[in-house]
Amino acid sequence: MESSDTSVGRATLLIVVSALSFGSISVLTVLTTSAGVPLLTAMAWRYVVGAVLLGGVAQIKQIRSLPRRRIVQLMLIGGVGQALITYLSLHALEYIPVGPLAFLFYTYPAWVAVLAAIRRTERLTSIRVFALLLALTGVTIMVGAPTERLNPIGVMLALGSALLYSAYLPALEHVQDGIPALLSTFLLIVGAAISFAIAALFAGELLIPRGIAVWSNIVMLALVSTVIAFSALIKGLSVLGPVRTAIIATVEPFFTALLGALVLGNQFGAATLLGGVLIAVAVLVIEWSSARATATA
C-alpha cells in the first residue's frame, strides 16, 4: 500500500498542478475575448468542450450506480457555485481594479481555515496559521494591498466571491467523497456548462467562434484550465482537506503573473518574485508539517 507521506506529497503536487492550471484561465480568457469572443461564449464553450473531452475517459456509465442526490449536488456545485464565483468576481471589476480584487479574493484561505475551526472539521494549528500568514503575505506583496478608497460595492462583491469559494471547497470535498475523481469532475463540468450556456443564451451571446487561434485557446481552456484543473483539485482535496488545499493553492496568482509576462508581455517585478518565494515557503511548511504529523502518529 502507498505510505501516508507519499500520499500527502502526491496530493500536494496535485493541488499545485491544479492551481497552475487554474492560473492559466486569465491569460487564455484574455486571448480569447481579445479576438472578439464574448466572455459568456468563451466560458460556455470552455465547459462544453471540457465535458466532451472528459466524457471519453470518465467512464460515465458509472453514473447509473450513483445516488441521484449526489449527481444533482455535484452538478449544482459546478453550475451554481462555480457560476456565482465567476459572476461575482467579474462583476466586482466594474467597481474596483484587478489588483484589489485579487487581494480581496485571495483572503479565501483565511476564511476556509476560520470556517473549518468553527465547524471543528480541521484543527487550526500554529504551523497552519504560520503557513497561512506566509501565503497571504506573499499574495499581498504580489498584488499590493489596496491603498486607495475602494467602492464598497466592489469590495462586497470581491469578498462575497472569496467567502463563496471558502464554502465551495469543503462542500466539494463532502459531496465527491467516494466517487471517482474523473466522474466527479465530469458532473461538475456538465453543471457549469449548462449554467453558462443558459446565461449566454439569455444574453444573446451563445455564438460559434471562428478561427483556429480562437478554438486553440478554447480547447486549452477546456483541457488545462478545466479538466486537468478540476480533476487534480478533487484528487488532492480528498487527501489534504480544505485548509491545506486553500493555502497551497495560493501559488495560482504567482503563476498567473508569470504566464502573463511570458504570453501577454505584462511586467514581472521583484515584488512578484518575492511574493512567489513566500508562497513557496508556505507550501513547504504545510508539506513539512504533514510529514511530521504522519511520522509522529
Which grid coordinates belong to 20? 497552475
Backbone angles phi, psi at 189, to 5 degrees: -65, -40
**Alpha-carbon dihedral 115, 120, 122, 126, rounded to 10 degrees:** 80
Asked if 96 and 158 touch (Cβ cutoff 8 Å), the reply is: yes
Distance between CA 253 and CA 76 in Å, rounded? 27
Task: Decide: residue 261, CB within 10 A, 0-12 exposed, 13-18 middle, 19+ buried.
Answer: middle
Tell me the whole-structure pTM to 2 decimals.
0.80
How many other CB atoms sit within 10 Å of the CB of residue 156? 14
Question: Count of residues for the chain?
Answer: 297
Provide the strand spans (E) within the chain.
Answer: none
Q: What is the amino acid identity at position 16?
A: V
Residue 65 CA to residue 43 CA, distance in Å, equals 30
Rg (CA), the chain: 19
Amino acid at 75: M
Q: Locate cell 457560476: which residue? A: 83
Tens of each residue's pLDDT in the chain, 297 residues: 344 556 878 888 999 899 888 888 878 888 888 888 988 899 899 999 999 988 877 666 777 777 888 888 888 888 888 878 877 887 787 787 766 777 788 888 888 888 888 787 777 778 878 888 888 888 778 766 666 677 888 888 888 888 898 888 888 888 887 788 888 888 889 999 999 999 999 999 888 998 899 999 999 999 998 999 989 999 988 888 888 888 888 887 777 777 777 776 666 677 777 877 887 788 777 776 665 555 454
Q: Find cell 469543503 and name the residue.
A: 170
For 60, which DSSP code? G
The residues, any chain, with a CB within 8 Å of residue 140's CB and separated by 6 or more, are: 103, 275
Work out the number of other CB atoms within 10 angstroms of the CB of residue 267. Answer: 9
